[in-house]
């Protein structure tokens, strides 16, 4: 009977009975939230299928191309499907947009010119973009080297400081940039309705200002996407939400045609634009990943909600809380000390389907002042749409966890992690 109760958890793993009991209680509390998450996922699934049908996606679109890539029908069709899904006029989706950092960098660089100013409206941008902008000095080829200047407007109690933003806008302001996800900050994500308000306010001052969104980790969490509320351009990674955990590599940029053309000129060359660009990889995985994405995001969100519920019940501080509104897939957990944090990340790794035998250790990662520990037993290297956790090893000892292709794996990972904290008697 015990096997029935814990669905095999006790058969395959050594988890203390009291921990499994707590998990069952924590899970029971999540049902109403799960139901909301499922509704959003269902809505987004219909949206995606409709976009496939409208563009008459067929098997021939999956065929790789070689050389210049002229007439690659699948590539062009994938762009149209992305534009449809993200509520924009146009899109560029490519395997050679190597990551979210690259997609965001292209989005900014391609649409700014010497003398222009960019304003970061949700505080300092994601760590890896500091080099692109030139906020962190040293890396060659930053926007600063090209005479593009920046301003940063911090969030005000977790939400966009519209007054501060409007005061910061000058004659030189060409782009207002919003990071949707909380990233590595203990803050709330920027919700779609906040973006809508920002668009209205900024466009009222100067309709020429481009509103750009770093959409990483936010895709399919809400029913609307930034393009649906008037955002001009957005960028993200295909090994996060929109790749559905299936796509092996790539990035996307969606936006107005003129802005996307600028991106194509920068990626390829002015004139050639989107006529070239072969896709040697199987495009089926890019299409199928997008098809799976609403479902995969649903699994991630359920995992995050469960984690928040259980960890909170065990006395840890979490952000968001299990029943808070969510705008991205990231779950933050604050631990009491270094030992707990490291044990948790080790446990996450131990509960993974791949590399479960590997022990993550804190290391001096380039670009970080403190040591960082990263747990990720993923099929696709570094794919944070798969269950993963990372943390700078410093006070206040916060672990950032996200992803999960399958809810039960997140549940298992959290339990194995908590068990490893318990085993060391540091709880």
Ligand X SMILES: *Cc1c(COP(=O)(O)O)cnc(C)c1O
Yes or no: say if 105 and 132 are a contact pair by the CB < 8 Å rule: yes
Closest approach of ligand X to the CB of residue 237, in Å:
4
Rule CB under 6 A: say whether 179 interacts with ligand X: yes
Map the footprint of ligand X across residues 335-364, applying CB under 6 A.
none
Yes or no: say if 411 and 306 are a contact pair by the CB < 8 Å rule: yes
Can you tell me the distance from the alpha carbon of 423 to that of 403, in angstroms, rounded to the nearest whole number? Answer: 25
Rule CB under 6 A: say whether 388 interacts with ligand X: no
Can you tell me the distance from the alpha carbon of 190 to that of 231, in angstroms, rounded to the nearest whole number? Answer: 13
Closest approach of ligand X to the CB of residue 109, in Å:
15
Rule CB under 6 A: say whether 403 interacts with ligand X: no
Residue facing ligand X at closest CB distance: 100
Closest approach of ligand X to the CB of residue 324, in Å:
18
Q: Which one of the spans 81-89, 99-107, 115-123, 132-140 is the region binding ligand X (CB under 6 A)?
A: 99-107
Closest approach of ligand X to the CB of residue 268, in Å:
21
Q: Which residue has the tokens 């669905």?
A: 7
Can you tell me the distance from the alpha carbon of 175 to that of 153, in angstroms, rounded to the nearest whole number? Answer: 13
Q: Which one of the spans 38-46, 138-146, 212-220, 411-419 is the region binding ligand X (CB under 6 A)?
A: 212-220
392: Cβ–Cβ under 8 A, 6 or more apart, which residues?
Answer: 184, 368, 370, 371, 372, 398
Can you tell me the distance from the alpha carbon of 420 to that of 427, in angstroms, rounded to the nearest whole number? Answer: 10
Q: Which one of the spans 49-57, 93-101, 259-267, 282-290 is the region binding ligand X (CB under 6 A)?
A: 93-101
Yes or no: say if 333 and 316 are a contact pair by the CB < 8 Å rule: yes
Secondary-structure percent of the chain, ordered helix, strand, coil, rounded to 5:
45, 15, 40
The interface mask with ligand X, positions 237-256, x = CB under 6 A, is x-------------------
Q: Which is nearer to ligand X, 41 or 215 (CB)?
A: 215
- Local structure of residue 427 (DSSP, 8 states): -
Residues across the chain: 427
- Local structure of residue 125 (DSSP, 8 states): P
Q: Could you say which of 6, 82, 109, 217 contacts ligand X (CB under 6 A)?
A: 217
Closest approach of ligand X to the CB of residue 300, in Å:
13
Closest approach of ligand X to the CB of residue 315, in Å:
28
| Residues at the site binding ligand X, with contacts judged by CB under 6 A | 99-101, 104, 126, 128, 179, 181, 183, 214, 216-217, 237
């Amino acid at each position: 009977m015990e096997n029935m109760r814990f669905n095999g958890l006790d058969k395959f793993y050594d988890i203390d009975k009291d921990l499994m009991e707590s998990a069952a209680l924590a899970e029971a509390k999540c049902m109403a939230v799960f139901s909301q998450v499922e509704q959003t996922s269902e809505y987004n699934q219909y949206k995606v299928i409709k976009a496939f049908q409208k563009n008459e996606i067929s098997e021939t679109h999956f065929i790789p191309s070689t050389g210049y890539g002229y007439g690659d029908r699948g590539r062009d069709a994938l762009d149209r499907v992305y534009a449809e899904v993200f509520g924009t006029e146009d899109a560029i989706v490519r395997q050679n947009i190597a990551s979210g950092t690259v997609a965001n960098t292209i989005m900014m660089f391609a649409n700014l010119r010497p003398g222009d100013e960019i304003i970061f409206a949700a505080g300092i941008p994601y760590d890896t973009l500091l080099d692109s902008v030139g906020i962190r000095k040293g890396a060659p080829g930053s926007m600063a080297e090209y005479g593009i200047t920046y301003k940063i407007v911090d969030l005000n109690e977790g939400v966009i400081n519209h007054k501060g933003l409007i005061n910061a806008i000058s004659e030189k302001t060409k782009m207002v940039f919003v990071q949707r996800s909380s990233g590595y900050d203990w803050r709330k994500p920027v919700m779609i309705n906040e973006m809508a308000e920002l668009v209205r306010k900024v466009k009222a001052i100067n309709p020429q200002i481009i509103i750009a969104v770093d959409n990483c980790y936010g895709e399919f969490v809400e029913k609307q996407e930034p393009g649906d509320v008037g955002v001009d351009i957005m960028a993200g990674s295909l090994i996060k939400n929109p790749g559905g955990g299936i796509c092996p590599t790539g990035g996307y940029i969606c936006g107005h045609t003129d802005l996307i053309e600028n991106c194509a000129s920068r990626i390829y060359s002015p004139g050639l634009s989107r006529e070239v660009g072969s896709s040697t990889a199987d495009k089926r995985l890019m299409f199928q990943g997008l098809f799976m994405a609403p479902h995969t995001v649903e699994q991630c969100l359920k995992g995050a909600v469960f984690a928040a519920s259980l960890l909170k019940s065990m006395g840890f501080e979490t952000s968001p809380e299990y029943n808070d509104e969510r705008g991205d897939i990231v779950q933050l957990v604050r631990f009491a000390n270094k030992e707990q944090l490291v044990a948790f990340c080790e446990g996450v790794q131990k509960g993974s389907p791949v590399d479960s035998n590997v022990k993550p250790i804190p290391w001096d990662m380039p670009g970080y002042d403190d040591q960082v520990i990263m747990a990720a037993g993923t099929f696709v290297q570094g794919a944070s749409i798969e269950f993963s956790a990372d943390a700078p090893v410093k006070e206040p000892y916060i672990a950032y966890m996200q992803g999960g292709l399958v809810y039960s794996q997140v549940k298992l990972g959290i339990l194995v992690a908590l068990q490893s904290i318990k085993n060391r008697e540091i709880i």
